[in-house]
Chain A
Amino acid sequence: MRWPGVSLWGLLWLWVPLAGGRSVRLEKVRADTRNLTRTLSTRIQQLQLFPLSLKISGLEAIPGEGAPEGLGAMDHRLQLFQRLLGGLAAGNLPLAQIANDMENLRSLLAALATHLGCPPLRTPPGPPAPPGLSDLLVEAPHTAAGLALARLRVCLDGIAARLDGLLAC
Chain B
Amino acid sequence: MCWQIILTMFVLLDFLQMAVAHCMVHQIAPRNFTLPCMLLNETFLSPFSAGVVESWSGLRRDHGASETKPPLLMNEESFLCCLWSDSDIDCSLYRASMQARKFIPSEISISASQEIDSNWNIECWIQGKLDLLVCSLRFLKLYLRADVKVNLSYAVSELSLGDVSTSSLKGTVMVAQCDCSGYDKCECCVPSLRLNYTYIMWLKMMIGVTPLWSPLMSVKPIDIVKPEPPLNLHLEMTEKGQVKICWSDPMLMPYPLQYEVKISANSGQNGWQMVQVALETSLAIDNKLLDSSYLVQVRCKNHHGPGFWSDWSTPYNLNLGAEVLYFPPKILTSVGSNVSFHCIYKNKTKIVVSKKIVWWLNLAEEIPESQYTLVNDRVSKVTLFNLKATKPRGSFFYNALYCCHQNRECHHRYAELYVVDVNINITCETDGYLTKMTCRWSANPNTLLLGSSLQLRYYRSRIYCSDFPSTSPKSEVKECHLQKNHSYECTFQPIFLLSGYTMWIEFKHLLGTLESSPTCVVPADVVKPHPPANVKAEITRNIGLLNVSWTNPIFTNNDLKFQIRYAVNREEITWELYEVSNAPTRSAVIRVQKLCVEYVVQVRCRELGGSGYWSNWSRSAYTLVKDIKAPLQGPEFWRIIIEDPARRQKNVTLLWKPLMKNHSLCSVSRYVIKHQTSGNTTWSEYVDNGTTCSFPWTEHTHTITVLAMNSIGVSAINFNLTLSQQMSTDHFILIEKYQFSLYPVFAGGVGKSRATDQFTKGGYENENNASLYVVLPIVISTSVLLLGALLVSHQRMKKLFWEDVPNPKNCSWAQGVNFQKPETFEHLFIKHPEAMSFEPLLLEPEIVLEDISVTKVLKKEDRQDFSVIDSMFTKIQDSEHDSACSSSHFNSSSFSESSRDDQIGGEITRQSDIKYATIISNSRSSGLYEQKMTLRSCFDRCFLAEDSLVTGAFSSSSWEVGNGAFLLLPDPPGRQPNKTLSLSLISSEGFSEPSDQDDAFTDGDSPERSLYYLGITSLEKRENDVFLTESSGVMCPFHTTDVLKDVGFLQHTPPNLNVCIQSSLKYKAIVPYVPQFQMTAAKVQETTEKNS
Contacts and interface: CB of A to CB of B under 8 A. Distances in A.
A39 B433 CA distance: 9
A36 B497 contact: yes
B435 A104 contact: no
A104 B464 CA distance: 10
Interface residues on B, range: 10 to 19
B288 to A, nearest CB: 63
Contacts of B499: 104, 107
Given A108-B463, A111-B463, A96 B494 contact: yes
B495 interface: yes
Interface in B476-506: 493-499
Given A32-B524, A35-B557, A104 B496 contact: yes
Interface in B420-467: 434-435, 462-463
B498 A107 contact: yes
B321 to A, nearest CB: 60
A93 B524 CA distance: 18
A23 interface: no
Interface string A96-133: 11011101100110010000000000000000000000
A40 B434 CA distance: 10
A42 interface: yes
A36 B498 contact: yes
A39 B555 contact: yes
Contact of A39 (B434, B462, B463, B493): B434
B435 A93 contact: yes
A104 B497 contact: yes
A101 B463 CA distance: 11
A32 B554 contact: no
Contacts of A96: 494
Contacts of B557: 35, 38
Contact of A42 (B497, B524, B554): B554
A68 B1042 CA distance: 117
Contacts of B524: 32, 35
B497 A101 contact: yes
A153 to B, nearest CB: 15
Contact of A107 (B435, B463, B493, B554): B463
Contacts of B434: 39, 97
Contacts of B555: 39, 42
A97 B463 CA distance: 16
Contact of B493 (A32, A93, A99, A103): A93
Nearest to B494: A97
A99 B498 CA distance: 13
Interface of B is mostly: loop
A126 B434 CA distance: 28
Q: Of residues B434, B494, B557, which shows the largest number of chain A Cβ atoms within 10 Å of its Cβ?
A: B494
A94 B463 CA distance: 21
B497 A39 contact: yes
A111 B434 CA distance: 22
Contacts of A103: 496
Interface string A67-103: 0000000000000000000000000011011011101
A108 B462 CA distance: 9
Interface in A28-43: 32, 35-36, 38-39, 42
Contacts of A38: 557
B542 to A, nearest CB: 40
B891 to A, nearest CB: 106
A29 to B, nearest CB: 8
B494 A100 contact: yes
Q: Of residues A46, A93, A97, A103, which shows the largest number of chain B Cβ atoms within 10 Å of its Cβ?
A: A97
A104 B524 CA distance: 11
Interface residues of A, number: 19
Contacts of A35: 524, 557
A108 B554 CA distance: 22
A97 B435 contact: yes
Given A38-B557, A93-B435, A97-B435, A32 B494 contact: no
Contacts of A111: 463
A108 B496 CA distance: 12
Contact of A104 (B493, B498, B554): B498
Nearest to A96: B494
B1063 to A, nearest CB: 76
A94 B497 CA distance: 14
A32 B498 contact: yes
Contacts of B494: 93, 96-97, 99-100
Given A39-B434, A39-B555, A108 B498 contact: yes
Contacts of A99: 494
A96 B495 CA distance: 9
Interface in A13-36: 32, 35-36
Nearest to A97: B494
B495 A100 contact: yes
Contacts of A100: 494-497
Nearest to A28: B464
Contacts of B493: 93, 97
Interface string B495-519: 1111100000000000000000000
Nearest to B497: A104
Q: Of residues A38, A94, A100, A111, which shows the largest number of chain B Cβ atoms within 10 Å of its Cβ?
A: A100
Contacts of B498: 32, 36, 104, 107-108
Contact of B463 (A42, A46, A93, A104): A104
Contacts of A36: 497-498
A122 B210 CA distance: 87
Contacts of A32: 498, 524
A100 B524 CA distance: 13
Nearest to A25: B464
Contacts of A104: 463, 496-499
A99 B496 CA distance: 9
A94 B498 CA distance: 17
A102 to B, nearest CB: 10
Nearest to A46: B554
A145 B493 CA distance: 21
A46 B435 CA distance: 13
Given A32-B524, A38-B557, A42-B555, A97 B462 contact: no
B525 to A, nearest CB: 10
Contacts of B463: 104, 107-108, 111
A122 B337 CA distance: 44
A126 to B, nearest CB: 15
Nearest to A99: B494
Contacts of A97: 434-435, 493-495
Contacts of B495: 97, 100
Q: Of residues B462, B463, B498, B499, which shows the largest number of chain A Cβ atoms within 10 Å of its Cβ?
A: B498
A115 to B, nearest CB: 12
A11 B575 CA distance: 56
A96 B436 CA distance: 12
A35 B462 CA distance: 17
Contacts of A94: 435
A42 B554 CA distance: 8
B1 to A, nearest CB: 84
A43 B745 CA distance: 59
Nearest to A45: B554
Interface in B714-738: none
A38 B499 CA distance: 17
B497 A107 contact: no
Nearest to B524: A32
Nearest to A105: B498
22 contacts: A32-B498, A35-B524, A35-B557, A36-B498, A39-B434, A39-B497, A39-B555, A42-B555, A93-B494, A94-B435, A97-B495, A99-B494, A100-B496, A103-B496, A104-B463, A104-B496, A104-B497, A104-B499, A107-B498, A107-B499, A108-B463, A108-B498
3 shortest interchain CB distances as A-B pairs: A97-B494, A107-B463, A104-B498
Given A42-B555, A100-B496, A104-B498, 17 more contacts: A35-B557, A36-B497, A38-B557, A39-B497, A42-B554, A93-B435, A93-B493, A97-B493, A97-B494, A100-B494, A100-B495, A101-B497, A104-B463, A104-B499, A107-B462, A107-B498, A111-B463
